[in-house]
Amino acid sequence: MKKKIKIKLNGKSIAINYYSTLFNIVQKNKIPLTKVAIELNQEIVDKKKIKSINLKNNDKIEIVHFIGGG
């Protein structure tokens, strides 16, 4: 069995494969990259570089977009 690590994605704890990249997460969740911004541990991530960002245990990812608001 593959080794798993725990991360938080938009506040929700999930287990992912060791050696997963941020790109894997985006792909798996079908995130439309042009319509979102991504934070990793409260730092904004350059969306062009997500393929080379390996995730570690306890990483916190926030993926946000625009919604209706006043």
31 part of the interface to other proteins, by CB under 8 A: yes
* Residue 2 CB, nearest approach to other proteins (Å): 22
Interface map 32-61 toward other proteins (x if CB under 8 A)? x-xxxxxx--x-x--x--------------
Q: Are 9 and 61 spatial neighbours (Cβ–Cβ below 8 Å)?
A: yes
Q: Are 4 and 15 spatial neighbours (Cβ–Cβ below 8 Å)?
A: yes
How far, in Å, CA of 41 to CA of 58, rounded?
Answer: 9
Q: Which residues bind other proteins (CB under 8 A)?
A: 9-12, 29-32, 34-39, 42, 44, 47, 62-70
